[in-house]
Amino acid sequence: MVQLECMAKRTKAGIRPQPGQPVGLRTLGEYLDLSPATISLVLNNAPGVRSIPQETRDRVIEAAAKFDYRPSFYARSLRKRQTYTVGVLVPELNDHYATQMLAGIEEYLIEEGYFYLTVSHRRKPDLIEEYPRLLMDRSVEGFILIDTILEKGFNLPTVVVAGHRHIEGATNVVLDQRRAAELALRHLHQLGHRKIAFMRGGSHSADADDRWDCLMTVARELKINVPPELTVQLRLISSTPELGFEPTNELLDRKASFTALVCYNDVSAIGATRALSNRGLRVPHDVSVVGFDDIEGASFHNPSLTTIRQPLVEMGQVAARILLQRIRGQATFPDVVPIHPSLVIRESTAAPGARASRTAAS
């Protein structure tokens, strides 16, 4: 009896939606004089749709196209228990490293029909802790963290790019830092450099300690002495060339002699080049400079940067692929998935010249 009364309240068939009126299953039902359930079966090509006459199916599809019907994303999410959304945490959205990684993540997720929500935590511990909770409140299905130090895991599939900690439930996509150190130092060693200065990354960067340890291990193997006066610690939390500008000035103020400088990344290498130039030193005639990452601007800098290439876009794609496979339960992965670097030789490195052994004071 109740069902009959409800059906009797249906608006007469054939009523067109008003301009600007949202078009949903109920609206199409009123227009076609069909139940929303019937329309849903047709539009989703669900089991049982064959019991509906072809003529009716054609009418439904034609009306949906006519009124530009869009299925409810939230209704579909509830029905399938999926939101097709993942959360991505980055230190800064304008960071060259992160933007290239995001390009790879976005490319893969779009192909798979997924959205992503991105937040930048600016390396503030409270935001690193709070943002994942906010994203989980929005029903993300998993996380990708880029250059973010993770203290504990989540109850969702998680992939950490440049992660160096064993976290339950997280897969770490990491560059082979040992290989990267070998490529950079063997290149300089073969050119004839023996007095090499180094920039050590800040503790806020997930790669910093592992990269430093690998550089020092390879330096010992090559019998390259690394005295304290030839090492500087990056202090700024910045993605601008200022990151390497002041540390290079600090090196030069010590009056220590060096013929090559291994920078933490390409951005710091650009700042280092400016600091050297301000002191009358030319790159690479007086000091060779090696960067790290191979950001988009590395090949256009003057001089163009010799650098260790991280395949950043590819790393983003790998991270997204692993995350979706984990969400779908399609595969299991080891704690660490290594990515191989390569050396890109450009204009900023050369054999030590006649003036290369000069100190900053001369």
Over the stretch 52-101, which tens digit does the pLDDT of each residue have?
999 999 998 898 888 877 765 555 554 556 788 999 999 998 888 899 99
φ/ψ of 124, rounded to 5, equals -90, 120
CATH superfamily of the domain spanning 82-175+313-339: Response regulator (3.40.50.2300)
Query: Residue 146: pLDDT above 90?
Result: yes
Question: What percent of the chain has a predicted confidence (pLDDT) above 70?
Answer: 88
Number of H helices, E strands in the chain: 12, 12
- Its pTM stands at 0.74
What pLDDT was estimated at residue 226?
97
- Architecture per CATH, domain 177-310, reads as 3-Layer(aba) Sandwich (3.40)
Q: Would you list the DSSP string of 194-258?
A: -SEEEEEPPTTSTTHHHHHHHHHHHHHHTT----GGGEEE-----SSTHHHHHHHHHHHHTT---
> Which of 109-113, 190-194, 232-236: highest mean pLDDT?
190-194
- Which helix (H) or strand (E) element contains residue 103? helix 96-111
SS3 for 125-191, per residue? HHHHHHHHHHHHHCCCCCEEEECCCCCCCCCCCEEEECCCCCCCCEEEEEECHHHHHHHHHHHHHHH
What's the whole-number mean pLDDT along residues 221-228? Answer: 97
Query: Residue 3: pLDDT above 90?
Result: no
Domains of the chain, by residue range, sit at 2-71, 82-175+313-339, 177-310
What pLDDT was estimated at residue 76?
56
Confidence of residue 313 (pLDDT cuts 50, 70, 90): very high
What pLDDT was estimated at residue 12?
46
- Architecture per CATH, domain 2-71, reads as Orthogonal Bundle (1.10)
Confidence of residue 17 (pLDDT cuts 50, 70, 90): low
Query: Residue 354: pLDDT above 70?
Result: no
Same fold, 2-71 and 82-175+313-339: no
